[in-house]
Structure 1
Amino acid sequence: MKIRKFQIQEADLIYKYLPANYIECLQCNFSSRKKVSSDDIMIAFWTDSPQWVERLFKLRNLLVKPFGIQGGNNDSRHKLEKSIRTGGTYKFMSISEKSDEETILCANDKHLVMYLSIKVKELNERDKDVTVSTLVKFHNLLGRVYFSIIYPFHYIIVRSMLKSVLKKFENQP
């Protein structure tokens, strides 16, 4: 599965949240006979992470707690899944917009706001393109410092989580 850099398109819902201090857009192709929605991938993205990623998030949550940065959103998979499917809110994450192909999650705290867009485009009855776009807007200096520290991990983690999630959907009957 090859993940490639891509550009946010004007037709994407996430486009209206530009400009941002940080922009990343990745795309890859996967095959599944099963209908896979952007909600399905968003839910798996936040609830079915590889173990090493889970451990990193736990460490991150411990380290940032003294600075008032929020963390830890996956203690109730059912509540998180419900908020994604219904366009609701769970802790500091909310679904800011949805369409048939795209779901945008917003994580907002006093230091920065992050938008994560998952867009699934069916190419034919089997092949699909998934596009994952991340936008980050800093509210203050602490947001800038925090993101500069996590950026190298972000790059590795997003790609790893995307591959892991898509393998679960790939080639399903």
Structure 2
Amino acid sequence: MTEQLPCFRSLAIRKIPEPDYADVCLATLPEGAGTDPREWAERVFSIESIPRWVAWAMGLRQALVPLIGIPRAPKNTFTVSEQSGEEALIFVRDRHLDFAVAVGIDAVTRLIRVTTAVELKGWRGKLYFSVVRPVHPIVVDSMLKKATRSKPAPR
């Protein structure tokens, strides 16, 4: 019997191989848009791509998390930490959870993929993520859609 290799690969899953939570969101790249994954990661997680309701929710998060002993997220939380091939990785290690977000570009199919993997730590991480879990794919999908609807990124 031959060993079966995984068919889905992502820097996010490589960083957190046994996540407590994972999801993938897809969108089509706009006509004429570039295919640099770092540029797309920066674009998807930029202030311009955050819908108002998501910005409001993030502001609420910043106000409430200190109440359970979680530090407020720094402004540079979504900085690309690594790029390999068609993916750019954002990786954050914190006391309550680690998360990895990989933004991948398939230049052939013109798809952009955002893969998230999360490892929870202790009761704070579990409590925090119990609130985030139901809305996480909705938030990421809305940011991805907004980023791909605006003016194409340069080539």
TM-score, length of structure 2 as denominator length: 0.81
Match of 1:85 in 2: none
Secondary structure of the structure 2 residue equivalent to 1:31? coil
Deviation at 1:13, TM superposition (A): 2.5
Matches within 5 A, 1:4-153: 9-10=8-9, 12-16=10-14, 17-47=16-46, 48=48, 49-74=50-75, 90=76, 95-123=80-108, 128-153=110-135
Distance in 2 (alpha carbons) for counterparts of 1:8 and 1:63: 40
Distance of aligned partners of 1:15 and 1:169 in 2 relative to their CA distance in 1, 3 Å threshold: farther
Larger % of strand: which? 1
Deviation at 1:122, TM superposition (A): 0.5
Distance in 2 (alpha carbons) for counterparts of 1:38 and 1:69: 30
Alpha carbons 1:8, 1:14 under 8 Å: kept? no
Alpha carbons 1:93, 1:108 under 8 Å: kept? no
Deviations 1:71-90 (A, max 9, x none): 3444xxxxxxxxxxxxxxx4
Tell which has more relative contact order, 1 or 2 (C-alpha 8 A, sep 6+): 2
Amino acid at match of 1:160: S
Amino acid at match of 1:112: L
Amino acid at match of 2:116: T
Alpha carbons 2:30, 2:149 under 8 Å: kept? no
Secondary structure of the structure 2 residue equivalent to 1:156? helix
Deviation at 1:28, TM superposition (A): 2.5
Alpha carbons 1:108, 1:114 under 8 Å: kept? yes
Amino acid at match of 1:153: V
CA RMSD of aligned residues (A): 2.5
Alpha carbons 1:32, 1:171 under 8 Å: kept? no
Secondary structure of the structure 1 residue equivalent to 2:22? strand
Match of 1:164 in 2: 146
Deviations 1:15-52 (A, max 9, x none): 32311100111223223313232112211222221122
Secondary structure of the structure 1 residue equivalent to 2:150? helix
| Count of residue correspondences | 147
Deviation at 1:154, TM superposition (A): 1.3
Distance of aligned partners of 1:41 and 1:71 in 2 relative to their CA distance in 1, 3 Å threshold: farther
Alpha carbons 1:94, 1:107 under 8 Å: kept? no
